[in-house]
A = this chain, B = another copy of it.
Amino acid sequence: MRDVAIIGVGAHASGRFLDKPMKALAYPAIWGALDDAGVKATDINVAYVGNSLGGLLTGQEGVRGQVVLQHSGITGIPIINVENACASAMTALRGAWLEVASGAADIALAVGVEKMNVGDSARTIGALSGVSELDLSELGMQFTTSYAIHPKINLKSRMAEYGWTAADFAKPAVKNSYNGSLNPLAQHRRPLTIEEVVQSRVIVDPLTLLMCSSISDGAAAAVVCSADIAKKFSSKTHITIAACVLQSGVYRLPGDERPDSATTSAYAAYEKAGIGPEDLEAVELHDAMAPSELMLYERLGLCGPGEGPRLIDERITTLDGRVPVNPSGGLCSRGHPVGATGLLQICELVWQMRGEAGKRQIEKRPKVTMAQNQGGLLLGQDSAVYGCTILKS
């Protein structure tokens, strides 16, 4: 397999854009990525378009990518429409990577786009249930509920086991809100305090409103090509995809002691990339609910059991820390347009690795970074899908 480089990225801001259809969200991301890469629309050999909710929320199904790319000048090539809940965009990136790595294509485009605001938040929440197994949504299980009570997450039992407090759960939200305040593409740009987060409305005890990511519209794109021709197109920092791993969840009976799939997918990526968690210099991870960042620290190998809050207290994962986590603001602040999130994470990492991240630039430009996703719910599984991408420069 050939080495694959990311030579261009582009993103639409995340937020509430009621008047924009999916393609209006996607064009700035696509054109931004092409422009950044220095390639023309007609240079693209194959395109992967990730989206998770377009059928249920916009009525557009079956040919979502063809519609999204319709006036981009990208036609006549294979367009592969993929969905994989919160890892839809990472699934698109993995597809583009495989096309180029295998030699089936020289230059590939990955797009992630989601239109969640349709003027009726109940409809959006209903559609999100379709991202779970429907039998679960019939039980009234929503994502927030699952984060609060899921046996592998169960925030209350973490409080009992580790002595974590509501203030601990708020820490990632506070850290990431500061990062998001420096990101012009972020959905929420006001720095929060521990008190505000803890005292905001309870959604599902112990989760409060400001610990949860919002309904969000957005899009992101990346152009990838074989590493040996990358310099022909772009003179920017050479960034390669060292690993792009996708895993679906496994069924677990009570007492199952196997590592969580967030761990197995991350360690599969570490192995492919030939690194360990200690080598990471920046991470974008899936903080759909703020406390999950604390648990992901453990699962990705950034700390031992129960040590999550310490990484923030000791300023290890802050923007000025040894391994900044969610420099973009993460899902809670930058925004979580479901099918775009994985590529929004990749955009942020590429900008940080190139030194183009503006006011939130990590002082020592990171050279080894990771984006991590998970999403979807099936009864008896941890999550339905996990994704992990490691970039090197």
Contacts and interface: CB of A to CB of B under 8 A. Distances in A.
Contact of A248 (B79, B91, B95, B264): B79
A79 B250 CA distance: 12
Interface in A82-102: 82-85, 88, 91, 94-95, 98-99, 101-102
A268 to B, nearest CB: 10
A274 interface: no
Interface stretch (A52-60, A157-165, A195-203, A313-321): A52-60
A271 interface: no
Contact residues of A: prevailing secondary structure: mixed
Q: How many copies does the complex hold?
A: 2
Given A62-B84, A102-B1, A385 B79 contact: yes
Interface stretch (A11-19, A130-138, A207-215, A325-333): A130-138
A134 B132 CA distance: 26
B95 A385 contact: no
B251 A75 contact: yes
Given A102-B1, A102-B98, A248 B75 contact: yes
B66 A130 contact: no
A355 to B, nearest CB: 33
Q: Give 7 nearest A-B pairs by CB, closest first.
A: A55-B55, A62-B131, A102-B102, A63-B376, A78-B246, A61-B130, A62-B85
Given A52-B61, A55-B61, A66-B384, 19 more contacts: A1-B102, A53-B61, A54-B55, A61-B83, A62-B131, A62-B132, A63-B133, A64-B83, A67-B133, A70-B133, A75-B250, A75-B251, A75-B381, A76-B248, A81-B91, A95-B95, A98-B98, A101-B104, A102-B104
